[in-house]
Structure 1
């Protein structure tokens, strides 16, 4: 995927009130950027790290900048914008990068489904194949060599797992796809130490037949894309 504008580099000053980040640009200019991430962002935004912003010319926006990426002290790239996870997956599906899902020709997004008033990120359909419901989650938490999800307690995530199990029970295919937006993550594990209830729900979902996939992202100049599967572990 391409960002809406060439990325602007600056130094992160602080993130506050969840949705705001102050960034110092070249020549000392201080700007406030929108932070499109409602999570805890643990280990994803330390003062002084290099922040990458996109600039928007929409006069209806309150803030002209969006915080997209950050580079930590290990020179690892972390995707801050959680909305980009679905964009990365959409492009990967259309380009048949995700081999496990490459047989599906028709791709629909944000389709209403389930019994708990949900929307599935992607519904894949193909003649002679079961409908495939794909729920996307962004992974950015790196601790002791492991990528973890979730990075905070997520009742919404538990609901999504129940919905996927319900699709399996109706004879469909269901996939939980982790889009790894951290260049330092090479393996992913459920964060039972953060949300034990989610870990239990995920174990039940896997036992019911929900398939788990994880693909990592890569940034090459201005091109940001999913490119490589990484292993996922329940334990």
Structure 2
């Protein structure tokens, strides 16, 4: 995916989850921007850190810019919470993302399909009649080469995993797919200290046939693309870089 009209800026502060104040590098203009991620992202939004803004003016918008990426040390982290689903559906369809245990060739990839009380991100169907639900989660939290989810408690995420397990009992294949929105990562896990119930449910699910997979991305200020599969281990201890913030 390529973003249009991207400008580099420096982050100043974030008054709330939805907006941030930034200074454009080219002109020095101070602008209010829409943050395309309602997560905490405390380890990314440090004072004066370099960020990438996509210029998207519209009469119906309150801000002209979207904040889409943040530079952490020397690497870019995409924070757009809407892009993982788009990347995942395309990559599953073209074979970049492989769903282990799926029988037959994929003939259909549909977005936002309901099961029980959840609306899962993707429904995959194969030429053998097999159906699989894929719930996609973006991952932006990292420390010492380990990626983790979530960076804030997610009741919705816990509900999704619970109902993915129910779907297995109804004959579906079920997957949790983490799209890691940065490149340099050795392993992905659950931030157990942040939400132990989610880690427990993932473990229960894996024992009942739930597949949890993770893929990293190559990220630049104006692009993001799925790169390769990264190992996932729910038992890996994650050290929260925000624990002392």
What is residue 20 of structure 1 aligned with on the other side? 19
Moved more, 180-189 or 63-72: 180-189
Matched with 1:203 is: 203
Judge conservation of contact 1:11–1:24 (CA < 8 Å) in 2: yes
1:54-133 matches, within 5 Å, as: 54-72=54-72, 74-100=73-99, 103-114=105-116, 116=117, 118-133=118-133
- The answer as to whether partners of 2:53 and 2:67 remain within 8 angstroms in 1 is yes
Instruction: Note if contact 1:42-1:151 (Cα within 8 Å) is conserved in structure 2.
Output: no
State the partner residue of 2:238: none
Once structures 1 and 2 are overlaid, which stretch shifts more, 122-131 or 172-181? 122-131
Per-residue CA deviations over 1:158-194 (Å, capped at 9, x if unaligned) read 1000110011000110000000012232211111111
CA–CA distance in 2 between the matches of 1:9 and 1:173?
Answer: 42
Could you tell me how far apart the structure 1 residues matched to 2:109 and 2:81 are? 21
**Aligned-partner SS, 2:84:** helix
Q: Which runs of 5+ in 1 are unaligned?
A: none
- Is residue 7 of structure 2 the alignment partner of residue 8 of structure 1? yes
Report the more deviating stretch, 144-153 or 11-20.
Answer: 144-153
Aligned counterparts of 2:119 and 2:75: Cα–Cα separation in 1: 32
1:80-126 CA distance string (max 9 Å, x none): 11111112212212322012379312110011222x2x211000112
Count, aligned residues: 231
Aligned counterpart, 2:227: 227
Unaligned residue ranges in structure 2 (runs of 5+): 236-245
Q: Matches of 1:129 and 1:229 in 2, distance apart?
A: 26
Q: Is the aligned partner of 1:184 residue 2:184?
A: yes
TM normalised by structure 1 equals: 0.93
Query: Which deviates the most, 183-192 or 32-41?
Result: 183-192
Counterpart residue number, 1:173: 173
CA distance in 2, matches of 1:159, 1:95: 29
Bigger CA drift: 75-84 or 36-45?
36-45
Shift of residue 76 of structure 1? 1.2
**Structure 2: distance between partners of 1:148 and 1:220:** 21
SS of equivalent to 1:40: coil
Does the 8 Å contact 2:84/2:136 carry over to 1? yes
Residues 70, 77 of structure 1: 8 Å contact kept: yes
Q: How far apart, CA to CA, are the structure 1 residues paired with 2:200 and 2:221?
A: 40
Question: Post-superposition shift, 1:220?
Answer: 5.3
Offset at 1:221? Answer: 7.1
